[in-house]
Structure 1
Amino acid sequence: MSASILFELFNMTVPAPTGIATYSRHVVRAARELGFAVDGLFHTYSKLDRRDDILAEVGFFDARNRKISPFAKYIELNWRWMIGAPRGFRPGRLPLSGVVIDARGSESDFANFRNAYALRLFNDIARYHFLRYGSCAVVHTKAIPTVFHTTQAIPLRVRGAANVYTIHDIVPLRMPYSTLDHKKFFLNMVRHLGRTADHIITVSEASRRDLIEICGVPKDRITNTYQSVAFPEAVLAPSDDEIANFVQQAFDLEYRGYFLFYGALEPKKNIARLIDGHLASGTSCPLVIAGSPAWEYESDLARIEEAQGDNYRVRKGRILRERRIQRLGYLSLPQLVALIRGAKAVVFPSLYEGFGLPVIESMLLGTPVLTSDVAALEEVAGDAAVLVKPHDVDNIAKGIRRLDQDQDLREELTRKGKVRAAQFSPKEHQRRLAAVYKSLGVSVSAAPSSSE
């Protein structure tokens, strides 16, 4: 019988998915291709009907399950704050019979799970349980999985399983002014996981050092597997001409005629300095900022609005008004891939990242990259990107100017970037994950796939 693995997948159900959601999809795929029987634990706001499978499935995908009223959340969590989950959690089975038409089709996050489970408000309740008892809340499943693997730092465990935790970074500790996390809870939880987990996975050597040196995680209980980067074939299929036409028609942008930042709007992304650097560079190419607000984003939005002055240009005999700074909201994957492929360069001078997914995604798609010379970003980018000092506006401006004016540099970075991205392929990720699971005595029934 195949070994089984239950993944905690809270971030795959949030309205505007983050990099952890991307990681979750890729790690689930890797486990499946390694031969595991894969189950998923999903978040729900609503109580699902335990007596009627159709109502349970419909209720999970109901638009009203995307948020909870403040009053209902207060009532539910107020008593949980005091008692936590002393009896643990018993997730409900989530039927995925196909009654609900999944708009994502073959790209669905919910396809191909052996079993799917839903657990109400488990992210909040697990946190309250840890604050009350200083231990992980227990998830009770009818059949104990071989491995319980969380895709984030969260105080949950399954008795009888090998408990593995992916901790991407320690931003709440390295940049406490940039997040609203409960810092004491976060540090104590990570220390606890370091003592009690069967193993901890992280996604860069920089994050591994942070977890060892700052949080005291034992060196022999933490492994860097990096992340894998890949896109569905369908979104890679359009030709360059089709991409050029799309970005022109959809966003009124010239192919290879704009710089692109994409990601959540939050303090660590360094948006204000990026805008200042872009304006100071003297480039005539607009800066496109694509992403949804995350937290503490008000000052960034204000700076974007302030910088959105109008310029004018002549194109095909017409005088057109354009903005040097353009902001787009959350985009579908095909739209985002088209924007990346159509950009002159992706600019990502973040202050701190556990990995820096946009760097490698852009390299994979053949787009030159500018990023920061700090921690994981420099580590992941290697010599395949223009590196800048993220606190230095003049240095950011200089980097943008180099990319804007030097076509040979852009072509060189495109070549180097594709080579660099290959080191983060699904095949390489599978190999690293298989080594972690095998170190725990878990049988991996399939060799890492050679397919990309």
Structure 2
Amino acid sequence: MKVILSIDAVRFPLTGIGRYTYELARQLPDEVPGLDLQFMAGHRFVPRLPTEKAFSNPAQGRSLAVRVRQRLQNSPAIVSAHRVWLSRRQSHSLKEHNEAIFHGPQFYLPRFDGKSVVTIHDLSVFTWAHCHPGGRARMMRQEIVKSVSRASMVLTDSEFTRQELVAFFSLPPERVRAIPLASAACFRPRLPTELDAVLPRLGLRPGNYCLYSGTIEPRKNLGALLDAYQRLPTSLRHRLPLVLCGYQGWQSADLHARIQKAAGEGWVRYLGYVSGAELPHVFAGARLFAFPSVYEGFGLPVLEAMASGVPVVCSNSSSLPEVAGDAALMCAPHNVDTLTDLLRQGLEDEGWRSEAQRKGLAQAARFSWAQCARKTGAAYRAVRSD
């Protein structure tokens, strides 16, 4: 069975879709017997996955070329034009491979006379369009409509997104499969000596902060998290500050103003981008992980926290209950009063914390990239046999 996997999303440091594509590419050959897996980067076939050394460190990427590329990537018109050009080039490159299955793991599929699979990670550009830049949302909506119409099968990261996609596009349920993601092996409980080697240079002490990790943007509901944390007793907030890490996202100026004010008051720390080598230690060193997002296609940070042995408080929206199971404290995303109560319980209730750590590790162990690859291989076989 020949499969061509697009690896355009594999850019270091690996984030959600990049991590998904990278782990699939690594696991599929071992987990799917008889698979002939080929990689396509852009419109060219490549012999292997890129390595981290091939990418510059984002914290050091200050060259003119990097700045120009970042500016171009923020232009929906330019990105859309590039997508049209790339789709045509990919279609041309695939002309001689109609016997293969093409898998687009990042929402996009080119025209292809053979069978194809696309992964749609969420429908936020349709259902939460106000939480995206308008131009980017319009472009992605157009591309997702094309991809869904072209795909022999659609994969999602969660049952929530599967049902949402089936209803939104009126698709036959059997044409859409939910295949959960997993956390990377580097997210695990850490010894004190491991934490002491990393956290002090970030100004952190193990077990002495509540963590949020993710892009700073409206969909993540950080305004509610700041409101809830501010309602905690002053002594608790200062003893166990809220630590935020992640890229500055779209429409986040007001959030950053609030973060800066809270940092001046001594109960919030904003670390910005944290390297891939340091981030697992920041997770493992947290006393509590807070993730009140209003909409997630999967919610990988929740799984990463549980795999790190850290208790979790999160919202009960979208896919998050599937990921957290019964291991987390959950509430409606905009219920600030309840979120405050849950944060306090998560920080102070040692009985619950111990049980949440145990349940969280067990819940995280139910997810694996090997299982993700096996189920993806089963989807390929189903497509081939149609």
1:327 to 246, 260, 270: 270
CA contact (8 A) 1:24 1:151 kept: yes
* Equivalent position SS for 1:140: helix
Q: How does 1:14-413 map to 2 (within 5 A)?
A: 17-33=14-30, 34-35=32-33, 36-42=35-41, 66=66, 68=68, 124-127=81-84, 138-141=91-94, 144=97, 146-160=100-114, 162-182=115-135, 183-232=137-186, 239-282=190-233, 283=236, 284-310=239-265, 323-413=266-356
CA contact (8 A) 2:95 2:112 kept: no
Question: Cα 1:356–1:348, aligned 2, differ >3 Å: closer, same or farther?
Answer: same
* Equivalent position SS for 1:433: helix
Tell me the distance in 1 between the aligned counterparts of 2:253 and 2:76.
Answer: 28
* Equivalent position SS for 2:362: helix
Choose between structure 1 and 2 for higher RCO, CA contacts under 8 A separated by at least 6 residues. 2
CA contact (8 A) 2:3 2:38 kept: yes
CA drift of 1:239 comes to 4.7
* Equivalent position SS for 2:254: helix
In the alignment, structure 1 residue 423 sits paired with structure 2 residue 366: yes
State the identity %: 27
Could you list the per-position Cα deviations for residues 302-346 of structure 1 after superposition, in whole angstroms to 9, with x for gaps in the alignment? 221121124xxxxxxxxxxxx310011212222110011110011
> Normalising by structure 1, what TM-score?
0.72
Question: Cα 1:372–1:146, aligned 2, differ >3 Å: closer, same or farther?
Answer: same
Partner residue of 1:315?
Answer: none
* Equivalent position SS for 2:314: strand
The letter of the residue matching 1:11 is: A
Tell me the distance in 2 between the aligned counterparts of 1:208 and 1:396.
Answer: 28
CA drift of 1:191 comes to 3.5
Question: Cα 1:129–1:255, aligned 2, differ >3 Å: closer, same or farther?
Answer: closer
CA contact (8 A) 2:208 2:240 kept: yes
Question: Cα 1:72–1:434, aligned 2, differ >3 Å: closer, same or farther?
Answer: closer
CA contact (8 A) 2:76 2:139 kept: no
The letter of the residue matching 1:369 is: V
* Equivalent position SS for 1:288: strand
Partner residue of 1:441?
Answer: 384
CA contact (8 A) 1:126 1:154 kept: no
* Equivalent position SS for 1:11: coil
| Count of equivalent residues | 364
CA contact (8 A) 1:126 1:137 kept: no
Once superposed, which parts of structure 1, at least 4 consecutive aligned residues long, lie more than 4 Å away? 60-65, 69-74, 127-130, 181-185
Q: Judging by fraction of residues, say which structure has more helix.
A: 2
CA contact (8 A) 2:101 2:384 kept: no
Question: Cα 1:147–1:382, aligned 2, differ >3 Å: closer, same or farther?
Answer: same
The letter of the residue matching 2:168 is: I
Partner residue of 2:48?
Answer: none
| Structure 2 unmatched ranges of 5 or more | 45-50, 57-62
| Structure 1 unmatched ranges of 5 or more | 49-56, 82-120, 311-322, 443-452
Partner residue of 2:3?
Answer: 5
* Equivalent position SS for 2:258: helix
